[in-house]
Structure 1
Amino acid sequence: MEETSILSIGISLVCVVLVSVSWGILNWVWFKPKRLEKCLRNQGFNGNSYRLLYGDTSERAWMTIESRLKPMPNLSNDFLPHSLAFFHHIITKYGKRCFIWNGPIPLVNLVEPYLIREIFMKINDFEKAKSNPLIKKVAPGLLFLEGHAWAQRRKLLTPAFHIDKLNFMVPAIWESSKEMIKEWEELASKTGSCEIEVWSSLQKLSADMISRSAFGSSYEEGKTIFDLITQQIKIVVPVFNSVYIPGWRFLPTKTNRRISEIDREIRIRLKGIINKRKNIIKREMRAKDDLLSTLIQDKFGHANRKQEIKKLNIEEVVNECKLMYLAGQDTTSSLLLWTLIMLGKDQIWQQRAREEIINAFGDAKPQFHELNHLKIVNMILQEVLRLYPPILELNREVTRDIKIGDVILPAGVLLNIPILLLQQDETIWGKDAKEFNPERFSEGISKASKGNMSFFAFGWGPRICLGSNFAMIEAKLTLVFILQRFVFELSPSYRHAPLNVGTLRPQFGAHIIFRRRP
C-alpha cells in the first residue's frame, strides 16, 4: 500500500513537471507571441502574421543572401535595399510603423525622434537586447553590461578617452598613418599613380592604430588577434539570421567548438600583452597614457584609492581589451573607407578639403589642438557618418510594460532604432537626404537635423559610444595625411555594395586610383 502511494506521488510529480514544461514551451512559441502581436496591431503597428517558432527568420535569411549576389546597379547612397533587404521589404509593404518577427519575438520599428530620445535617456528601462550568448564571445565587456555594473565600468574606462589622453595618442596614430602612406607612395613612385584596394589597407591601418595608441603594441603583435576576431565574426554572423534555442550553445556542435577554441586563443594572447605591460609598470613604476594602463592600474592597485570603483579581475580586463580591438578597428576603418569613396566620387569636395588642409598645415603634421580648425573636413566626416553610419540599427529590450509617448510597449518585445533610415529621412533632412552634401553641417548638427533626434551614428545619451572622439581623431589625422600627398578617384573596377556585417563594409572591396599630388 505504501509503495503504491509513493509511486502515485512520483507519477503525479512527473505529470506536473511535464505539464509545466509543456505549457512553458507552448507559451514561448505560440501564446505569448500571439498576445504581443495583438497588442502591437491594436496600436497601429503592422507586419507579417506570426509563424510558429521561426517567424520571419527564414524569409529574412533568404532575402539577405539574394541581395548579396550582385552589387548595386549604381553608386547611389540609397543602399538600404541592398544592406537590409528584408527590413526594406517590410517597411515598403507595411510602412515605417512596423514589426519583424525575430523568431517568436517581435522587433518593433520606432522612427519618431521624440520616442527615440526617450529610449536613449531611459537606459534602465530600455536595456541592450539580450542576443544569442555566442555573440558575447565576440564582443564582451562594457557593451552588454547593464545597471550598476555598467555604470562602474563606464566610470573606469572614461578617463582613458579624455582629451588630454587622446592628445598623447596622436603621435602613435600619425606613425601608423605614415607607414601606410609610405607603402602607397612606393606603389605610385614609378608611374605617379597606382590602384589600391583600400579596405584591406584601412583595416590594417586601424588595427595598427588601436594596437599602438590603446595597447602600446605594434600591428604585428596584434595581427593574430585581429585575424582571430575576424574569424569569429564570420562564424557568428549567421546566428543573427537564426532562432536561438536556449541551451543550444552548450551542445558540442562544430560551430560552438570553433567559437570557443578561437575565444580561448584570443584570451591567451591578450593575457600575454597584459602581463607584459604589468611587468613594465612594476619595473618602471609608471604607466602609459592609454586604455590598457588604465585597466591594469585599477587591477593591480595603482589607481587613485579615493575612486570607489570595483577592481576588475583578469578576465574582465581581457574582455575590455577584446572589445576595444574589435570596436576600435571596425569603426575607424568604416568611417575612413566611406569618406574616401565619397571624396573619390566628388572631386569638388575633395579639393575643398585639400585646400583647407594645405592652407592650415602645408605638408607638415598638425598638432592635436589644430585639428579642431578643420571645419570643411569635419563637415565631410559628419556627412559620411550620416549617409554611411558604422552601425545601421540599434536594438533595445522591453523588460516590463511601459508607455512612451502614445505607445504602450509590452514586456517581451524588442525595439529597433533604424539609424540609417532616420539619417536619410527626407521629411527631416530634405529632398536631398540621400545625396552627399557636407554643406548641410556648416552650422552644426542641431541646425542640420532641424533639432530632431535624427543623427546618432555613434549612439546618443548616457550610452553614447565611448570611443567616438578617438575614432574622429584617427579619421581626421589619416585624411590629412592622404590629402596632403594624393589626388584620388574611384577605379572603374569599383563595385558599390555596402554590406551590413556587424559594421558597414564594402562587399567587394574598394578599388581607388591614387595620383601623387603635384
Structure 2
Amino acid sequence: MDAKIAFTVISVIALVILRYTIKLANRYWFRPKNIEKRLRELGLKGNPYRIIFGDAKDVVAMRRQLTSKPMELSDDITPRILPYQRLMAQKYGKKFFIWFGTKLRLTIMDPVLVKEILSRPNEFRKPKNDKMGEVLAGGLFSSDGNTWTKHKKILNPSFHMDKLKNMVPSIVESCLEMMAKWNMALASKESVEMDMMPEIETLLNYVMCKTVVTGEISEETKKIYQLRITVNQQSGKLAKFMFFPGWWHLPFQEVKIMKAAHNETQSLVKKIVTRRLGEMKNGASNKGDILSLMLEAYQDEASGVSLHDVIEECRSFHFVGPESTTRSQIWMMYLLAKHPEWQERARQEVFKVFGDKKPNMEGLHQLKIVTMIMYEALRLYPPTGIFHRSISRETKLGDMVLPAWIQVTIPITLMHHDPDIWGKDATQFNPERFAEGVFNSKMQLLTFTGGPRKCTGQSMAVVIHKTVIATLLQGFSFELSPSYLHAPKHSFLLTPLHGMKLLVRKFA
C-alpha cells in the first residue's frame, strides 16, 4: 500500500514537473521561435531569438555606453536616444523586429502604416500588464477600450478652449513671479547662469496643478512633486530588469524604492481626493478641474466611475501632464538659446503682437514664428521617443497578416529624424518646414501620437508653450552657458542629463 501511495505521489510530482517544463519550454522557446518563423515568412527581418533575454541586454548595454558621456552640440540625437533601433533600421530597413525578452516588438517606420495603426486603437491597443507604464503614467494615458472612452468624455471639459483661455492669465502671472526672481538675481549683473530644468519644472508643476488637476497647491501636491522625481530616477535604473517576467516582484532595492514612492503617492492623492469629495458634499462648487469632474462622475452612480478611478486619473495627471510639458519646454529653451537669430525673430513677433502688454489667447493665435519654433522643437526633441501597441489576435496591417501576441513599436525620434520623411536637413533645426502648418501628406509629427487616441492635452500643451515663450522673451534673452553639457537621455521622457544651463540677460 505504501509503495502504491509513493508511486502515485511520485507520478503526480513528475506530471507537475513535466507540465511546468513544457509550459516553460513553450514560453521561452517554442512560442518565440514560431512567431519569428511567421514574421520571416512575411519578409520581415531581425536578429534570431536568443533565449530569455533576446536583444534586451544589447539594447541596455548600447544605450548605457552611448549615454555615459556628453555628445557634441548636435540635434542629431538618434544615435544616443535609440541607438539599437537606429542600428537595426540601417541593417534591416523601415520594418524590423527586436526581441525584448520573450516579447517580439515589430518596429514600424513607414508613415502610411503608422497612420493606419493609430487609426485603429481597438485593434492596436496599449500593452497590458505594463507595470512601469502604470506607475509612470496610468489613468487615461494607459487605459483602453470603454474605460478610456468614458474617462475621456468626463475629462474633455478641462481642455475646452474657453477653459484654456482662462488659463493664460494664470500662466502669465506664474511666469512673471519667476521672472521677478530672475531680475533680483540680475540686479547688479549683466548676466547670470541658471539651470532652466528646476526653474521650468517648478513653474509648470504649479501651473498644471492649479489650473488643470486639483485647483490648488497643497502640502500633498508639493510632496507628490518630490515623489515624482524619485519615481523618474528609479525608472531609468530599472530598465535592466524589465525584460524579466514579474520584475515588479523582484527583491531589488531599486524596485523597493519605486514601490514605496508609488504607494506613498497613491496615499497622498487619496487624501486630496477625499478632502475635495467632502467639500463637494458640503456644497462646494465644481471648479472645472480634473478632480472635480471625476468626483462629479463618481457621485453619479450611473457613470460607473469608482473612487479608485478618480484617484488614478488625478495621480496620472500629476505625473504625466507637468512632466511631458516641462521636458518639451526645456528643449524649446535650448533651441532658442542655440539659435539667437530665431530667438530674435520670435521676440520681434511677440512685441509686434503684444507690445509690452501681457500675452492673451487672441494674440497667441497670431504667433506664427513662435508656433513654427515650437513644432520644430517637438519634432527634434519629442518628450516620448518610442511607444508600443499590442495585438491579441491575428491582425491585418497593410498587406501583412501579423500573428497574435506581438507588440508593434513606433520609434518617434527615429521617424522625426528620417530624411525620407522630413528631407535632407531632417537632423537640423529648421522651423521653416512648418511655415505652412503642422502636417502635409507626407510629414507626420508624432509628438502627440495621432488618430482617435491622440493626446487629450495637446491643445493645452500648445497654449502653455506659446504663453511661456512669449512672456519670457518680453523680458529676457538667453544663450547657452559655456558650462552646458549636451546630454539628452531618454528615461521615460527625454531629459537633459546634466540640466539646461543657460546665460540669462535682461532684454533692454
Q: TM-score range by the shorter chain?
A: over 0.9
Counterparts in 2 of 1:170 and 1:292: CA distance versus 1, 3 Å: farther
Q: Which runs of 5+ in 1 are unaligned?
A: none
Q: Distance in 2 between matches of 1:69 and 1:108?
A: 28
Alignment RMSD (CA, Å): 2.1
Q: Distance in 2 between matches of 1:469 and 1:298?
A: 23
The Cα offsets for residues 439-486 of structure 1, whole Å up to 9 and x where unpaired, read as 111111223xxx126212111011111111111111111111110001
Give the counterpart of 2:388 among 385, 395, 400.
395
Superposition deviation, residue 7 in structure 1? 5.8
The Cα offsets for residues 79-129 of structure 1, whole Å up to 9 and x where unpaired, read as 111112222222233333222110112211111111111111111111112
Superposition deviation, residue 135 in structure 1? 4.3
Q: Distance in 2 between matches of 1:329 and 1:266?
A: 15
Q: What is residue 472 of structure 2 aligned with on the other side? A: 482
- Do the aligned partners of 1:103 and 1:242 also contact (CA within 8 Å) in 2? no
Counterparts in 2 of 1:253 and 1:345: CA distance versus 1, 3 Å: closer
Q: What is residue 325 of structure 1 aligned with on the other side? A: 318
Q: What is residue 515 of structure 1 aligned with on the other side? A: 505
- Do the aligned partners of 1:199 and 1:510 also contact (CA within 8 Å) in 2? yes
1:440 aligns with 2:439: no
Name the SS for the 2:502 alignment partner. Answer: strand
Q: Distance in 1 between matches of 2:367 and 2:102?
A: 49
Q: What is residue 262 of structure 1 aligned with on the other side? A: 261
The Cα offsets for residues 291-335 of structure 1, whole Å up to 9 and x where unpaired, read as 12111222234xxx9xx632232x221211111011111121111
In the TM superposition, what are the counterparts of 1:349-428 in structure 2 within 5 Å?
Answer: 349-428=342-421
The Cα offsets for residues 119-154 of structure 1, whole Å up to 9 and x where unpaired, read as 111111111123542542332212222222222122
Superposition deviation, residue 499 in structure 1? 0.9
Give the counterpart of 2:304 among 306, 310, 313.
310
Q: Distance in 2 between matches of 1:129 and 1:239?
A: 18
Superposition deviation, residue 283 in structure 1? 4.1
TM-score for the superposition, normalised by structure 2 = 0.94
Q: Which amino acid aligns with 1:177?
A: C
Q: Which amino acid aligns with 2:489?
A: L
Name the SS for the 1:127 alignment partner. Answer: coil
Q: Which amino acid aligns with 1:38?
A: K
Counterparts in 2 of 1:6 and 1:225: CA distance versus 1, 3 Å: same
Q: Which amino acid aligns with 1:77?
A: D
Q: What is residue 50 of structure 1 aligned with on the other side? A: 49
- Do the aligned partners of 1:55 and 1:101 also contact (CA within 8 Å) in 2? yes
Q: Distance in 1 between matches of 2:459 and 2:306?
A: 25
Q: What is residue 462 of structure 1 aligned with on the other side? A: 452
TM-score for the superposition, normalised by structure 1 = 0.92
Counterparts in 2 of 1:248 and 1:510: CA distance versus 1, 3 Å: closer
Superposition deviation, residue 264 in structure 1? 2.3
In the TM superposition, what are the counterparts of 1:240-259 in structure 2 within 5 Å?
Answer: 240-250=239-249, 252-259=251-258
Q: Distance in 1 between matches of 2:75 and 2:465?
A: 21
The Cα offsets for residues 387-417 of structure 1, whole Å up to 9 and x where unpaired, read as 1111111111121111211222111221111
Q: Which amino acid aligns with 1:311?
A: V
Q: Distance in 2 between matches of 1:134 and 1:120?
A: 22
Deviates more, 1:36-45 or 1:95-104: 36-45
Q: What is residue 334 of structure 1 aligned with on the other side? A: 327
The Cα offsets for residues 409-445 of structure 1, whole Å up to 9 and x where unpaired, read as 1112211111111122111211111111111111112
User: Taking every aligned residue pair, what percent have the same amino acid on both sides?
Assistant: 35
- Do the aligned partners of 2:170 and 2:207 also contact (CA within 8 Å) in 1? yes
Q: Which amino acid aligns with 2:305?
A: K
- Do the aligned partners of 1:208 and 1:219 also contact (CA within 8 Å) in 2? no
Superposition deviation, residue 159 in structure 1? 2.0
Q: Which runs of 5+ in 2 are unaligned?
A: none
Name the SS for the 1:98 alignment partner. Answer: strand
Counterparts in 2 of 1:239 and 1:334: CA distance versus 1, 3 Å: same
Q: Which amino acid aligns with 1:104?
A: T
Name the SS for the 1:101 alignment partner. Answer: strand
Counterparts in 2 of 1:253 and 1:350: CA distance versus 1, 3 Å: closer
